[in-house]
Chains A and B, each alone.
Chain A
Amino acid sequence: MDKFAVLQFYALLKREFLEHRNLFLGAPAVLAFLILVAAVWVASQVDSAIIVEGLEYLAVLFDGLSPFDMAPFFLLLSIPFMMTLYVCCLIYLVNTLFQDRKEMSVLFWQSMPVSNFQTVLAKLVTVIVVAPIFYVAIIFCLYLVAIIWLAILGFTNGVAIAGIGWMFLAALASLILIYFSSFIASLWLFPTLGWLLLFSAFARKTPLLWAGGVFILVGFLESFLFGSEYLANWVQSRATNPNQYLIFDLQTIVARLFNYDMFFGIAIGSILVAGAVYMRRFID
């Protein structure tokens, strides 16, 4: 790939970020702020001796243990961020090919020498690769503030700082797990990504309603015509498989990525994405 193509794709990703910065930066920043405010409020309501006692317990608990062994603790703490990420990605995907048609800026984007495949690919890369980076960065900032606060608290109350240092290393290690959890969950949900993009490219109004409505209709038709519920069962089995949403250790990443179910989902999702690229061709 030549340098111009790389810069061109970077510009497409930058466009996605600028257009949806509220979803990718604003939403996690607001959540982090709310968590901090809640933490400060809780701390102000609890006797400081209990907080110091809890901190001493955690410092002892984390002291000397492998950061990756303790990282799942912080991974679970980040679940609100991951839920926010998934909701924001859903909002993004369902609107991204619809909004510019609605406001007619699609005429500008289509007047540039950028293919529809490049445009749709940039949107997928935004969801799968780029958006989790912003979320992880915000979580890092939150953990940094929390650790500094705990370190000051520990230092002034004679708690062993080393344990708090180990806690911070575990928090850093959790960021890697959070990123790969999001990355693998996005690939696992690739059929959903493709489905949302398809209706974002197709619908003239209310793309979310189209995406949800057609899915229900297809499921109903399958049940009515064939008396089966393969589609609903398949979707349910994928949606409720917790193994594909949280990664607790790095060793499992390869197994989660390279398996038949993952490949099958990516293949189905790719067909739907190809449909979105096709729908994007013309504006009328």
Chain B
Amino acid sequence: MSNIVEARALEKSYGSFKALDCVDLTIPSGAISGLIGPNGAGKTTTLKSLIGLCDVEGELCVAGRDPRVARHKLMEDVCFIADVGILPKWLKVSHVIDYVEAVHPRFDRKKAEKFLSTTEIPANKRIKNLSKGMVTQLHLAIVMAIEVQLLVLDEPTLGLDIIYRKEFYDRLLNDYYDGNRTIIISTHQVEEVEALLSHLIFINKGKIVLNASMSDLADTYTEVLVDADQLVQADSLNPIHIRELLGKKSYTFEGVARPQLESLGELHTPSVADLFVAKMREDKHG
């Protein structure tokens, strides 16, 4: 499987603050990757770098192009939805469709209109008169009607209620993703995207702290609800995170073989949210 994103030693600073600190990143074609990190971790800077909206140092290749020198050509192959309502508020819905149809060679108007017909978005309304959920639906309708290799979503459902959020991801998975396209999603709502993801990327303080396929996670990370009499032995195996759970202690291990852990207590694969907390705490303490 070839990589649609290849980045080496990406650096970006805002004054003394390092937003990206020697980031190496590869994302295989066809993957649905989740870029997860706390506020200020560098998620948005990473995503903006991938589409040429941020001037980073280092080697960067997205869909065969350097976004810093060929953004407008790259955007024929890449779509982007940002965390803020970025559709121009003064435009009418029909104007947005007209504009994208005129400037994007891979936009299918009929597809967009078909999608919009399943929503309650009126074509003659201005964006400023739509709810945030409708604006996101409209943007998704546009993006889904564009035949591209890579879709970049930066907190796309931020501020939406649960119905819109669920519908957004359902549409994305059922109506858009075809196994060939690559999707990168940055979000705080880890639980909502966990089931979609084929790859997971954690970023913290401008550094990538995890980049693995979901199938590899089960092999690499194990959470153990440790029996009281096994705590000393569990501590000796260098857990990356320990937390209290129902009066017991839950240990998260990285790279420790499961047979070695079976005697300690009940084993299972950590959820993405638990693993995220574990990796962030590991970074904080270690």
CB distance from B69 to the nearest CB of A (A): 9
Q: Does A243 contact B (CB under 8 A)?
A: no
A14 to B103, CA, bound (A): 12
Main secondary structure of the interface of A (DSSP, over half): helix
Nearest chain B residue, comparing its CB with the CB of A20? B90
A108 to B95, CA, bound (A): 14
CB within 8 A of B88: which of A105, A110, A111, A115?
A105
Q: With A112-B103, A113-B105, A114-B72 in contact, do A283 and B89 touch (Cβ < 8 Å)?
A: no
Contact yes or no, B102 A108, CB < 8 A: no
Contacting residues, chain B, for A108 (C-beta < 8 A): 82, 86-88, 139
Contacting residues, chain A, for B103 (C-beta < 8 A): 8, 11-12, 112-114
CB within 8 A of B89: which of A8, A103, A107, A282?
A103
CB distance from A278 to the nearest CB of B (A): 11
Q: With A18-B91, A284-B53 in contact, do A111 and B102 touch (Cβ < 8 Å)?
A: no
A184 to B80, CA, bound (A): 41
Q: Does B45 contact A (CB under 8 A)?
A: yes
CB distance from A132 to the nearest CB of B (A): 23
Q: Does B10 contact A (CB under 8 A)?
A: no
Contact yes or no, B53 A107, CB < 8 A: yes
A62 to B125, CA, bound (A): 50
For the complex, count residues of B whose C-beta is within 8 A of A: 36
A194 to B68, CA, bound (A): 24
Residues 59-83 of chain B, each 1 if its beta carbon lies under 8 Å from chain A, else 0: 0000000001001111110011010
Q: Does A281 contact B (CB under 8 A)?
A: yes
Contacting residues, chain A, for B54 (C-beta < 8 A): 282-284
A111 to B53, CA, bound (A): 9
Q: Does A69 contact B (CB under 8 A)?
A: no
Q: With A10-B102, A108-B88, A113-B73 in contact, do A18 and B95 touch (Cβ < 8 Å)?
A: yes
Contact yes or no, B48 A8, CB < 8 A: no
Contacting residues, chain A, for B75 (C-beta < 8 A): 110-114
CB within 8 A of B14: which of A106, A107, A284?
A284
Q: Does A100 contact B (CB under 8 A)?
A: yes
CB within 8 A of A112: which of B52, B95, B104?
B104
Which residue among B72, B73, B74 has the maximum number of chain A CB atoms within 10 Å of its CB?
B72
Nearest chain B residue, comparing its CB with the CB of A18? B95
CB within 8 A of A284: which of B48, B80, B89?
B48
Q: Does A226 contact B (CB under 8 A)?
A: no
Complex A-B, nearest 10 residue pairs according to Cβ-Cβ distance, in ascending order: A11-B102, A105-B88, A115-B72, A111-B80, A107-B86, A113-B75, A108-B86, A113-B76, A282-B55, A107-B82
Sampled A-B contacts (10; CB under 8 Å) = A8-B102, A18-B95, A19-B90, A103-B89, A107-B82, A111-B75, A112-B100, A113-B76, A115-B72, A284-B14
